[in-house]
């Protein structure tokens, strides 16, 4: 029996990048995508309702705030919201993250983003999301010490914060790019520690795979590994295969549709399984991913993520 046809790829509303046409950071949160589009048109009341309903589901709140913050005109429209409701912690948090996005796009001053994040922290000291905004800023512009301190602040409020762990893994992977294939590199220790300390059903079980992909990005960019992951032994060594087996076994036992960033993990896991030559496992993951492609890790180290994803998915499904 031939495999079922692959689901069509969705179209993103993002513009300005090679992958923007095919990637929607809202992933499978359809309501979030709709609210983001309304915010881009100046209708912030639905964003207010969405964030109020999200409450203290911190992973979902962080995901939704960051996606809304990337909407066109998000900072300007959220300032209107804050003028209408000066005491709103949700508005202050969204403004903080939108200002961070503006800095990373070269359209805002860094100090303005830092001040906005600190204002949001004062309004909602238990919320890790304003700290996530500062961590996003430090991931690109901060020192290693600052990044670690901000990560600790997020973890103090939500020990299993998914996005924060991914940011930290990416930053740690960039240490010592000339060390080559060091099985004792600290990013691997960090990911193993995070997976071990998390609850049994936590998607942080996939973090060792994420760390492996991030380290490949760094090594390939430094010329230590081939730029084509299919030509790299990075994915087929004993350590890599053990990490993949553990993560895939976890997915078979615990995978659910509930985590807001679950499709991020599935993209990393499918990428690794495919490049380890495990096409049947990769095919199952591609089916679950559906249209929700994420640029990372398909773009690593400098590839067109849409073409790389399609080629891998078609090969995996064609051989399943």
Q: What is the pLDDT of residues 232-269, one digit of tens each?
A: 999 998 989 999 999 999 999 998 789 999 999 999 99
Contact 126, 224 (CB under 8 A): no
Locus of tokens 């997020």: 154
Residue 320 confidence (pLDDT): 58
Question: Across the chain, what does the average pLDDT equal?
Answer: 93
Residue by residue, DSSP assigns 201-232 as T-GGGGHHHHHHHHHHHHHHHTTSS-SSGGG-
Yes or no: say if 266 and 286 are a contact pair by the CB < 8 Å rule. no
Strands (E), 59-101: none
List, for residues 157-173, the tens digit of each pLDDT value. Answer: 999 999 999 999 999 99
CA 150 to chain centroid, in Å, comes to 17
Q: What is the percent of the chain with per-residue pLDDT over 70, rounded to a whole number?
A: 93
How do residues 269-281 score in pLDDT, each as one tens digit?
Answer: 999 999 999 999 9
Max intra-chain CA distance, the chain? 61
For 171-194, how does the pLDDT look when each residue is reduced to its tens digit (9 = 90+)? 999 999 887 788 889 999 999 999
Q: Show Cβ contacts of residue 292 under 8 Å, excluding neighbours closer than 6 positions.
A: 10, 24, 27, 28, 263, 266, 267
User: Is the model's pLDDT at 18 over the cut of 80?
Assistant: no
């Amino acid at each position: 029996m031939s495999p079922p046809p692959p689901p069509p790829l969705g179209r993103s509303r993002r513009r300005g990048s090679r992958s923007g046409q095919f990637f929607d950071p809202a992933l499978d949160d359809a309501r979030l995508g709709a609210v983001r589009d309304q915010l881009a048109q100046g209708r912030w009341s639905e964003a207010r309702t969405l964030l109020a309903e999200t409450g203290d589901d911190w992973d979902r709140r962080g995901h939704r705030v960051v996606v809304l913050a990337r909407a066109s005109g998000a900072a300007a429209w959220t300032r209107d919201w804050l003028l209408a409701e000066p005491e709103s912690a949700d508005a202050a948090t969204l403004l903080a993250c939108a200002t961070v996005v503006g800095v990373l796009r070269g359209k805002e001053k860094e100090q303005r983003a830092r001040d906005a994040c600190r204002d949001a922290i004062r309004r909602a000291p238990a919320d890790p999301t304003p700290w996530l905004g500062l961590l996003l800023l430090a991931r690109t512009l901060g020192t290693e010490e600052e990044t670690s301190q901000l990560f600790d602040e997020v973890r103090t409020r939500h020990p299993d914060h998914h996005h924060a762990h991914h940011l930290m893994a990416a930053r740690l992977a960039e240490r010592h790019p000339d060390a080559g294939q060091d099985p004792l590199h600290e990013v691997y220790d960090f990911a193993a520690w995070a997976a071990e300390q998390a609850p049994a059903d936590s998607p942080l079980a996939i973090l060792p795979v994420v760390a492996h992909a991030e380290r490949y990005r760094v090594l390939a960019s430094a010329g230590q590994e081939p730029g084509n992951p299919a030509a790299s032994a990075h994915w087929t060594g004993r350590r890599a295969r053990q990490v993949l087996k553990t993560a895939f076994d976890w997915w078979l036992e615990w995978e659910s549709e509930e985590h807001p960033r679950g499709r991020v993990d599935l993209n990393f896991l499918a990428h690794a399984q495919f490049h380890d030559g495990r096409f049947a496992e990769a095919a199952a993951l591609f089916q679950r991913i559906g249209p929700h492609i994420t640029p990372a890790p398909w773009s690593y180290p400098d590839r067109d993520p849409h073409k790389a994803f399609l080629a891998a998915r078609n090969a995996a499904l064609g051989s399943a």
